[in-house]
């Protein structure tokens, strides 16, 4: 089955700096990679996703890159703001195991300091 590893587990940045979170996956058949943001006490919310037919996707201050050869993908947040502080989860979904399973990373606690 799929295995997703996420690094770092915690990340502190100064407001205005960039933050990068990296994930690797094991199943070469995986073709969908969403990123979720979970604020304290709230539900995980999808912030951006990427499908395997593209290498990069951007939405305002958030971008995701995908390297299918190396089986890794990354989340980039530019010009960080205090409201970006949250736990971020990457995930991968593919065709093995019935194609239903979204496998999550262990999360990254991002803290944006003033």
- Applying CB under 8 A, among 46, 56, 67, 82 the residue interacting with another protein is 46
Residue 11 interacts with another protein (CB under 8 A): yes or no: no
- Name residue, tokens 């933050």: 19
According to DSSP, residue 96 is labeled G
Task: Give which of 22, 25, 21 is closest to 3, Cα–Cα.
Answer: 25
Considering only 74, 93, 110, 112, the residue that binds another protein (CB under 8 A) is 93
Question: Any contact of residue 4 with another protein (CB under 8 A)?
Answer: yes
108-113/10-14 β-pairing: parallel
Distance CA 89, CA 48 (A): 11
Site residues for another protein, 60-79, by CB under 8 A, read: none
* Shortest separation between residue 93's beta carbon and another protein, angstroms: 6
The answer to the question of residue 54 lying near another protein (CB under 8 A) is no
- What CA–CA distance (Å, rounded) separates 69 from 54? 13
Give the binding site for another protein (CB under 8 A): 4, 31-32, 34, 36, 42-46, 49, 51, 89, 93-95, 97-107
């Amino acid at each position: 089955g799929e295995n997703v590893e996420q690094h770092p587990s915690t990340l502190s940045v100064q407001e205005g700096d960039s933050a990068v979170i990296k994930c690797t996956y094991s199943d070469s058949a995986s073709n969908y990679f969403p990123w979720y943001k979970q604020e304290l006490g709230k539900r995980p919310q999808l912030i951006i996703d990427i499908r395997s037919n593209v290498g990069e996707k951007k939405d305002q201050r958030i971008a995701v890159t995908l390297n299918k050869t190396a089986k890794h993908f990354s989340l980039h947040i530019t010009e960080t703001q205090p409201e970006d502080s949250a736990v971020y989860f990457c995930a991968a979904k593919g065709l093995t195991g019935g194609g239903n399973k979204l496998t999550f990373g262990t999360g990254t606690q991002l803290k944006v300091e003033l």
